Amino acid sequence: AELDRPSGLEFGPNSNLYVVDTLNHRVQVLTPEGEYISQWGSLGVGEGQFSMPWGIAIDAAGDVYITDWRNDRVQKFDADGKFLMSFGSSGDGEGQFNRPNGIAVDLDGDIYVCDWMNDRVQVFDQAGSYKDVLVGHSGMSKWGRTFLNANPEIERKLELASQNIELKQRFYRPVSVHVDEDGKVYVADCYRHRVQIYQKL
């Protein structure tokens, strides 16, 4: 089970470990002890093919969601790797992506995708239809917000130096997202050196 720059991993309800094997353009499935079980995916643009897959999320039913980085889409598979659906295309409109990476699924089945180069997190329903967008603190989102700053001193200095506070507050390359059982959405705002926390309403 050779790996080439793995970028994501997640345990399924079956206790198997799913690893995104990015530069091999595939997903590998391992036992909890690391023994090889299976794999799926190859380089390409077709169903079940990838171009640098990145993030992974697994829902309560065991279905697997993979962000397909260079193909600007999300693909969904069952626990055995059977292709179920995909959504997204290249662009900056609603439901479009520019290098999606982190992904999460909440208890309602809603899907959260870090849209890296578009500096936002998009929210989709179980069918892959666009629902909402989070763009950071200054956005017009109806969701509540709190912050965890990695280094408040640096953050304050950035704030004072910034000529455009509004722009400063937005996401800058969000890279990872997680949703807890209470509906709190945690976003790692990579280039802003902070975590933003939203409460799903």
pLDDT in tens, 81-101: 999 999 999 999 999 999 999
To 5 degrees, how large is the angle CA 173–CA 175–CA 176?
145
Q: Tell me the CATH number for domain 6-133+173-199.
A: 2.120.10.30
pLDDT of the residue at 136: 76
Residue 194 binned pLDDT confidence (cut-offs 50, 70, 90):
confident
Residue 38 and residue 175: Cα distance in Å, rounded?
A: 27
What region, left, alpha or beta, does residue 181 occupy, with left being phi > 0 and alpha being psi -120 to 50 degrees? alpha
Q: What is the mean pLDDT of the chain?
A: 87
Is pLDDT larger for residue 135 or for residue 41? 41
**Whether the predicted pLDDT of 3 surpasses 80:** yes
Residue 193 binned pLDDT confidence (cut-offs 50, 70, 90):
confident
pLDDT of the residue at 143: 54
pLDDT of the residue at 200: 83
**Whether the predicted pLDDT of 127 surpasses 80:** yes
Q: Which of 187, 193, 117 lies closest to 157 in space, CA to CA?
A: 193
Residue 147 and residue 32: Cα distance in Å, rounded?
A: 34
- Phi and psi at residue 190, in whole multiples of 5°? -55, -60
- What are 150-185's pLDDT values in tens digits? 444 444 444 444 444 444 568 889 999 999 999 888
- What are 26-78's pLDDT values in tens digits? 999 999 999 999 999 999 999 999 999 999 999 999 999 999 999 999 999 99
**Which tokens go with 129?**
């239809």
Is pLDDT larger for residue 192 or for residue 29? 29
pLDDT of the residue at 126: 95
How far is C-alpha 122 from the geometric centre of its chain's CA atoms? 9
What residue spans define the domains of the chain? Answer: 6-133+173-199, 137-170
- What are 93-125's pLDDT values in tens digits? 999 999 999 999 999 999 999 999 999 999 999
